[in-house]
Structure formats: structure tokens, C-alpha cells
Structure 1
Amino acid sequence: MVAAPLDQQLIRQAAAALRHAQRILIITGAGLSADSGLPTYRGLGGLYNGRTDDGLPIEMALSGPMLRRDPALCWKYIAELGKACLAGEPNIAHYAIAQLQRLKPDCWVLTQNVDGYHRAAGSPPERLIEIHGQMAPLFCQACGAEDPQLAGHLSAELPPLCSHCHGILRPPVVLFQEMLPEPAIDALQAQMALGFDAVLSIGTTASFPYIHEPVLRTRITGGFTLEINPQATDHSAGMDIFLQGRAAHVMPELISHI
């Protein structure tokens, strides 16, 4: 499918705002990694639609309580997500975001994605907040030992077991019904306290309060807000600029004007 032409006037306006901005926050969601072939949780082409093969909502199957109650069942779906992440790679939008971070030393990325593509594309880890964790390295829930062999475990019997104590391994991701990682929350709150000149929301519906809050705060303080999505969301009308399109189509064009 050929992408629709971008509104060049809006592109230039957005680029001008980003050129003048010093402190920038880029919020990314599953729509960004969809351009890498990674399916999203829900919606057309989603990894999980309706109920799982086991007749359970994905929010139940892929949850912290299920990992404790039935590790094999939970790991069945962790493995699907892990295989999808390992099968893909960063796309041109990830690299464009990393380029913007090189141009702007106070540009941060807040991602809901657990695929690790931002790191792989060159986003500085010290300016990357992975609010939902990442797929690797695995760690033992019993003794805490790390195990970097994610790919090997995905092709073996599940759940994977610790080589030291035979406890059950898990990835450092936030499953449903689990708390967000404190270091990530602390980093986000510290940066929000400093404020942002501009916030970009890319490939996300920003449905979680902690994802949309930076957008609201930036609007209140007179900063610039931009959304990039294939379709309008509940928040599009409140943005200064909404660029309709896939991230891999929009981001390189936007960065080329900065």
C-alpha cells in the first residue's frame, strides 16, 4: 500500500518547533514497532484478539498472578511475544529518533515497548525510559541469577528453569496486574519535574495516565505537542499538530527538516 502524501506545511511547522526546543520527550508505543513487523497487542493484525487459544483473555493469561499459578501457560504467551521481538529489528523510525537524540542532548524517549529496538537503534540508555521493561536478560524468581539465553529458552521446554537453583525464569517485563518498575517511574517523574519544551507521541493511543500526563503538563506550560499515528486517537484533537501516517513514513521526513 502506497502511503498518502504528508502535509509538508505541517511537517515544516513541527520541524521548526523541534529545532527551537531543547528539552524534548518522545513517547512511543506499539505502532512504532509495527513498522518492524512486530504485531501489536490489539486491533487489526494484533498479536492477540479476543481470547487466547486457551479461552482466556490475554490480560489474564499474560499476568503476574498467572505466572505464579500456572507458569507453563503464562510462558506460552511470553514466548510468543519474545519470538516476535527477536524476529524483528529496528526500523527507520527508531533510527530517526536516535538521530534526534544525538542532535538534542536533552531529548528523552519514554517507551511502552519491550522489544529493545530503541537501544539497538542507538538511543542512549541513560535517556531511555522503558516503562514496561524489556524481554532480556531473563532472571530467576527464586535466586535472582541472570540468564541471557532468551532465544535458546524459547525453543526449549517451557517454562525455562534456572541453571543454578532450578527456579522459574522470567523476563524483566511488566506483566498485566504488576507494578511499574520504580527506577523507570522515578526517572520519568524527575524529568517531568524539569519540564519539556516539546512532547512527541508516536504510535500510541496514550491510554495510560502516566503516558498522557507528560503531554498534558507540556500543553499547560505552553510547550509544543505532536502526535504521529496512522489514525486519529482520543488525544489527537488536543495536540498542536497531528501528522497522520506510519512512523516509518513520517519520522525520517520530519528529521530531515531539523
Structure 2
Amino acid sequence: MYRDHPDPELDRVATLLARAQRILFITGAGISADSGLPTYRGIGGLYHERLTAEGLTIEEALSGEMMALRPEVSWKYIAEIEANCRGARPNAAHRLIAALEQEKPMVCVLTQNVDGLHADAGSRNLIEMHGTVHRLRCDDCMNARRVADYAGLQIPPECPRCGGIMRPDIVLFGEQLPQRALERLEHVLQQQLDLVISIGTTSVFPYIAGPVVWAAQDGVPTVEINPGDTEVSSIVRHRLRMTASEALRALWDRTHPSEAAEG
């Protein structure tokens, strides 16, 4: 259907996508919006401009310090947020990026999201910079486990190995980024990328905007997919003011003319 409506910018980006063999996708909360998840601060969108029952900002409640001192407070809101997001499924944007990974020599996804939807869609070359709510860990004995959701979970959950408090394997406010994820990103950036595409992120964090800035300075084509303006909008070579699903479906139709777009 998209091919019936010519769009020169979409055509240019589709040409770049078809030719590219090594692509880095950078994704934020906007890519999960079509799955029904809030876009404001990712999963924290439920608390926009209001305090928790304890009189805390959501940043204070979901901080590493609070998890260490009063884990029941952090877990209360982590569990509430997970319950509101439970049942979300990957949308067309997640699925089409995963499909491209099967076609190209190197497609990597760097995501800020902790919802696990990229993994659910089939992406394997995935850098979850902020972790995932679907993995729990114990900081006392380093035991880890995966959970589909928090239904029936004791809050806060005890570690079955040592009896300590388990926590979601996510980066809370005030915590450092995981070194392994940073090293993986550095490795990807050394692979002579052909295309960098930023989707659904305001790019306020340096480690999210940085790869776009580097690519633009190095002459690597850059694309932003976002209905609004962001920190990298003036830097990228091509802009698609569309939602993630709209843009990915349109690009898929243009690069796969014999197939119907998914979703």
C-alpha cells in the first residue's frame, strides 16, 4: 500500500537499507509505543509529573540507592509498572528489524528499552543497554533467573540459593551502565557500518546519541525515525517523521516488493 504513495525521502532511505550490509539500529521507547507501552521514560511513563505514595519521584523510587536501602519500595513500583506493561507483544517494527537480521551479514540493535520485545521478536545481536525486566539477579551470590512476567512472584523475591533479595537485571537511576554492553557497542562501532538508524528515542543520553554523531562525522549514512524533534534531528542525513511501525512497514514494502509487509 505504501508504494502507491510516492515519498522521495522514504525511497532514499529504502535504497540505503537495501544496499547496507552492516546496520546499527538504535531504539528507544517510541518503538514499543505501537505495542501499547508508554513512551515517557520508557516504562516509567505511568508516573509522569506525579509523586509516588511515599512522596518520592519515580527516579528516587527506582534508584540503585533505594533498591539497596529499601528494596520493597523499588520493587513495589517495578512490579506495578511490569503489571501495566504485561502482555505486550512485539509490533511490526520489532519483527521487521529481526527479519533484517536474518538477511544481512550484520544487523545489531542497541536499545534503551527493558521490555524484552526485541528479543521476543527474534533479534539476537542485541545490546540491551539498560537490561531487561525478564531477568532477575541476586547481588549477594550472583544467582540469576529468567521470568516471563511477575505474576505470582513474591515481592520482593528471595533468592532460592542464598535467601537474599533478588532484583530485576536493569540499570536503575544513579547506577552505572554495564561494562559488557559498552564493550559490545564499541566492538560494533569498529565494524565499518554502512548505516545507522535511530528509532523512537529522544537521544538525550550521550551513549545513545554518540553513535549517530560518530557516524555522521565519519560519513556513514544516518537516519532518524521519530514523529518529533530530538537531540540528533539536526545531525542525521535523513529524517522520517513517522512512527516506528509505519516507517518500517513502508521501508519493508520498498525493499521487498514481492512480499506483503508483516503486521
Give the TM-score taking structure 2 as reference length: 0.88
Partner of 1:28: 27
Partner of 2:164: 167
Kept in 2: contact 1:113–1:134 (CA 8 A): yes
| CA distance, structure 2, for counterparts of residue 23 and residue 157 of structure 1 | 43
Kept in 1: contact 2:26–2:196 (CA 8 A): yes
Kept in 1: contact 2:29–2:41 (CA 8 A): no
| CA distance, structure 2, for counterparts of residue 120 and residue 138 of structure 1 | 17
| CA distance, structure 2, for counterparts of residue 255 and residue 183 of structure 1 | 32
CA RMSD of the aligned region, Å? Answer: 2.1
Unaligned runs of 5+ in 1: none
Are residues 1:247 and 2:244 paired? yes
Aligned match for 1:206, one of 199, 203, 206? 203
Displacement after TM superposition at 1:230 (Å)? 1.9
Q: Secondary structure at the match of 2:223?
A: strand
| CA distance, structure 1, for counterparts of residue 65 and residue 169 of structure 2 | 15
Partner of 2:260: none
Q: Secondary structure at the match of 1:196?
A: coil
Kept in 2: contact 1:39–1:84 (CA 8 A): no
Give the TM-score taking structure 1 as reference length: 0.90
Kept in 1: contact 2:209–2:231 (CA 8 A): no
Kept in 2: contact 1:219–1:225 (CA 8 A): yes
Displacement after TM superposition at 1:40 (Å)? 2.6
Partner of 2:70: 70
Are residues 1:47 and 2:63 paired? no
Kept in 1: contact 2:27–2:113 (CA 8 A): yes
The 1:150–1:99 alpha-carbon spacing in structure 2 relative to 1, beyond 3 Å, is closer
Q: Secondary structure at the match of 1:242?
A: strand
Kept in 2: contact 1:138–1:150 (CA 8 A): no
* Per-residue deviation, residues 43-91 of structure 1 (Å, max 9, x unmatched): 9x93221233322111111011000111110101111232244321101
Matches within 5 A, 1:71-90: 71-90=71-90
| CA distance, structure 1, for counterparts of residue 53 and residue 237 of structure 2 | 42
Partner of 2:96: 96
Q: Secondary structure at the match of 1:135?
A: strand
Kept in 1: contact 2:93–2:248 (CA 8 A): yes
The 1:82–1:6 alpha-carbon spacing in structure 2 relative to 1, beyond 3 Å, is farther
Letter in 1 for 2:70: D
Q: Secondary structure at the match of 1:177?
A: coil
| CA distance, structure 2, for counterparts of residue 63 and residue 7 of structure 1 | 47
Displacement after TM superposition at 1:229 (Å)? 0.9
The 1:142–1:234 alpha-carbon spacing in structure 2 relative to 1, beyond 3 Å, is closer
Partner of 2:129: 131
The 1:234–1:147 alpha-carbon spacing in structure 2 relative to 1, beyond 3 Å, is closer
Q: Secondary structure at the match of 1:236?
A: coil
| CA distance, structure 2, for counterparts of residue 202 and residue 7 of structure 1 | 22
Partner of 1:231: 228
Letter in 1 for 2:190: A
Partner of 1:114: 114
Kept in 2: contact 1:6–1:250 (CA 8 A): no
| CA distance, structure 1, for counterparts of residue 117 and residue 177 of structure 2 | 20
Q: Secondary structure at the match of 2:234?
A: helix
The 1:150–1:168 alpha-carbon spacing in structure 2 relative to 1, beyond 3 Å, is farther
The 1:142–1:211 alpha-carbon spacing in structure 2 relative to 1, beyond 3 Å, is same
Are residues 1:60 and 2:60 paired? yes
Q: Percent identity?
A: 46
The count of corresponding residues between Structure 1 and Structure 2 is 250
Q: Secondary structure at the match of 1:171?
A: strand
Displacement after TM superposition at 1:188 (Å)? 0.3
Displacement after TM superposition at 1:155 (Å)? 4.0
Worse-superposed segment, 80-89 or 113-122: 80-89
Kept in 2: contact 1:195–1:218 (CA 8 A): no
Letter in 2 for 1:64: G
Displacement after TM superposition at 1:243 (Å)? 0.6
